[in-house]
Amino acid sequence: MAEVTKKKKKRKTGTNVKAKKKSAVARAVVKKGSGKIKVNNRSISIVKPDYVRRFIEEPVNLAGDIVKSADIFIKVRGGGFMGQAVAARSAIAKALVEFSRDAKLKQKFLAYDRLLLVDDSRRKESKKPLGTGARSKKQKSKR
């Protein structure tokens, strides 16, 4: 009898990193390669508007030649476009530090912007009773 073999789904192997901003979560995989950077399976050069693309590319520009020997794939879900950009930027920086294992690069990122390596812990405040949101309340009437 012939054995039935299941095809395993090909997974991206490499270093996995996660970053958050508000409700946006970015997961990055970095491995040896030729310097490709993809966000949600699209090249980073396609990201619009331009100021968001430049914002996401900041850790790449700071890292220099290390990026040329690594491929970075980022998946971002949740939140708005700017929260996703901050999460993707942070995921790229964390991935580069973990991939290179370079203490000088880590110090460079921390000196430039601490949010590159440390996630912003602020989250949305929960809604309270008698109101439409966290702080706003129904207006009281005296008559």
pLDDT tens profile 61-70: 999 888 999 9
Report the topology of domain 15-116: Ribosomal Protein S5; domain 2 (3.30.230)
CB 81 within 8 A of CB 22: no
Q: What percent of the chain has pLDDT over 70?
A: 94
- What is the average pLDDT across 65-90? 94
Instruction: Tell me phi and psi for residue 40, to 5 degrees.
Output: 50, 50
- What is the average pLDDT across 71-88? 95
Asked whether residue 9 carries a pLDDT value surpassing 80, the answer given is: no
Rounded Cα distance, 46 and 52, in Å: 11
Asked whether residue 84 carries a pLDDT value surpassing 70, the answer given is: yes
- What is the average pLDDT across 23-49? 93
Each domain of the chain, given as residue ranges in start order, spans: 15-116
pLDDT in tens, 92-124: 999 999 999 999 999 999 999 999 999 989 988
DSSP state of 86: H
12 dihedral zone (left: phi>0; alpha: psi -120 to 50; beta): beta
DSSP state of 33: S
Rounded Cα distance, 139 and 108, in Å: 51
- What is the average pLDDT across 126-133? 89
At 7, is the pLDDT very low, low, confident or very high (cuts 50, 70, 90)?
A: confident
How much is the pLDDT for 39?
Answer: 95
Residue keyed to tokens 């460079």:
108
How much is the pLDDT for 5?
Answer: 74
